[in-house]
Amino acid sequence: MKRPKGKGRIWRRGEQGFDKAVLGTSFNARDSGARPDMLVEANSAEDAQWALLQAREKGWQVSIVSGGHSWAQNHLREGGLLLSMARINQIEIDPQAGVAKVGPGCWGLDLDRALKKHKLFFPIAHAPDVALGGFLLQGGFGWGSRALGIAAQSVIGIDLVLADGSLIHASETENSDIFWAARGSGPGFFAVVQRYHLRLHPRPKFTGMKVQVFRQEHLDDVFRWADDVGASVARSVEFQMLITPKAMGIFKPGIEVFAPVLANSWKKAREAVRFINDSPIRKLASFTTPLIPSSTSILSQTANITHFPPDVRWCADNIWTDAPIDDLLPGLNAIADTMPPAPSHALWLNWHPPKERPDMAFSLEANRYLAVYGEWKHAADDHKYENWATERMSAMQDHAVGIQLADENLGKRPSRFMKDENLMRLDSLRAKYDPSGMFRPWMGRPDQAN
């Protein structure tokens, strides 16, 4: 993604440059053909209030974009208003209080760099240009989130604009029902986030990564092992595996085992990733690196270069699963056998959530997270690859407890994304705060699933 340049402006459908401005809001280079009637690039909360007033007067529905990293391009809908909050990206840090106030258009990388100077930390997303706007609404699996909690747990307040144009603050003690809804409703939130208030964490003294690579023929052994050790892996480690057609170093289909670790000393980090050296399948590995020190900024930027290049076309989908590994292996092998070209990949995240989280809309997770990301360059190949993610996850949906809104594909595969009672509560809050249905809801809902 490119950072937005200069002051924002208003674009009307049909005028020169309109299509480029609308499509430029999206990380995914696909073009469904959907266009809003108007795009407002807000520079301030007042601009957002003005845009909502226009929408109310014209009876338009509103979609919102911050960093544009919705794989499904949730903000690109036909007609109505598209409100871009990408330019509202200011960062204010109070190191003494351990609090930051951050605009929704702020990239994770920029926040991380600003916090580094104060030895402070926030669990930003794994790609540098994911913005806090959408990331925090859907929950937010950031660096260190297995230990610190999902990023939304570190949100302590939100300034937002409601459908009636009022600018309010929401927290545990003020407009607490809206605060509850904002932490987990993701692309179905019913207000415009103008600023987040974040609780910061001490910066881990050591950050690094250990990598191990296997050829695809070892897929069953690798996943059985990963499943076996999963529950015992230290919370400081984000143990993840990527199935890829061009694995690092071997340039062939394979499995990349990544173990990023955030710890308070080199010694603790080494202990936490020792399970990779001690593994019974180590001899099958094509290679294993030592633990390599690296900052979260560099890890994120490397992830973009190797796995998330810009200006390409994507399809993505995911499941949360607690199914026995033997039931999942046929699906995992089918993913590997049918994957579009590199850097397409599937992510298996050893998640094992804590037993309790604070009460918030986010309420569905499982021990393992599986997401698939198909990538291709040319529109001519859309028909070959565009349904790949949907087909692979549909084939495994009997083993799923639901999906996570980070990598959702609700327009094509409506699925359960939170507890039923939380969705009911969200529906009633939406009816209260957005009675005319001005803000676009999710592209699909669990009650539309087959």
Ligand X SMILES: Cc1cc2nc3c(=O)[nH]c(=O)nc-3n(C[C@H](O)[C@H](O)[C@H](O)COP(=O)(O)OP(=O)(O)OC[C@H]3O[C@@H](n4cnc5c(N)ncnc54)[C@H](O)[C@@H]3O)c2cc1C
242 by DSSP, 3-state: which? strand
Q: Is 311 exposed, middle or buried (0-12, 13-18, 19+ CB in 10 A)?
A: exposed
> Looking at beta carbons only, is 42 or 93 nearer to ligand X?
42
> Looking at beta carbons only, is 254 or 441 nearer to ligand X?
441
CA distance 153 to 165: 27
Q: How far is Cα of residue 145 from the mean position of the Cα atoms in its chain?
A: 12
State in angstroms the smallest separation of the CB of 76 from ligand X: 9
> Looking at beta carbons only, is 131 or 262 nearer to ligand X?
131
State in angstroms the smallest separation of the CB of 218 from ligand X: 26
State in angstroms the smallest separation of the CB of 215 from ligand X: 26
> Looking at beta carbons only, is 137 or 222 nearer to ligand X?
137
Q: Which residues bind ligand X (CB under 6 A)?
A: 27, 64-71, 74-75, 85, 104, 125-127, 130-131, 133-135, 137-138, 140-141, 187, 189, 192-193, 308, 406
Percentages helix, strand, coil for the chain (3-state, rounded to 5) are 35, 25, 45
> Looking at beta carbons only, is 152 or 339 nearer to ligand X?
152
> Looking at beta carbons only, is 245 or 411 nearer to ligand X?
411
DSSP at 4: P
State in angstroms the smallest separation of the CB of 283 from ligand X: 32
State in angstroms the smallest separation of the CB of 67 from ligand X: 2
As given in the structure block, the two tokens for residue 381 are 């190949």
Q: Are 242 and 346 in contact (CB under 8 A)?
A: yes
Q: Are 367 and 395 in contact (CB under 8 A)?
A: no
419 by DSSP, 3-state: which? coil
- Cis peptide upstream of residue 343 (ω within 30 degrees of 0): yes
Q: Is 24 exposed, middle or buried (0-12, 13-18, 19+ CB in 10 A)?
A: middle
> Looking at beta carbons only, is 75 or 210 nearer to ligand X?
75
* Pairing verdict, β 91-94 and 81-84: unpaired
Please report, to the nearest 10 degrees, the dihedral formed by the alpha carbons of residues 36, 41, 45, 46 taken in order. Answer: -90
> Looking at beta carbons only, is 71 or 179 nearer to ligand X?
71
State in angstroms the smallest separation of the CB of 224 from ligand X: 26
> Looking at beta carbons only, is 192 or 315 nearer to ligand X?
192
Angle at 311 between CA 308 and CA 317, to 5 degrees: 50
State in angstroms the smallest separation of the CB of 141 from ligand X: 4
State in angstroms the smallest separation of the CB of 284 from ligand X: 28
Q: Is 358 exposed, middle or buried (0-12, 13-18, 19+ CB in 10 A)?
A: exposed
* CB atoms closer than 10 angstroms to residue 7: 9
Q: Are 371 and 407 in contact (CB under 8 A)?
A: yes
State in angstroms the smallest separation of the CB of 228 from ligand X: 25
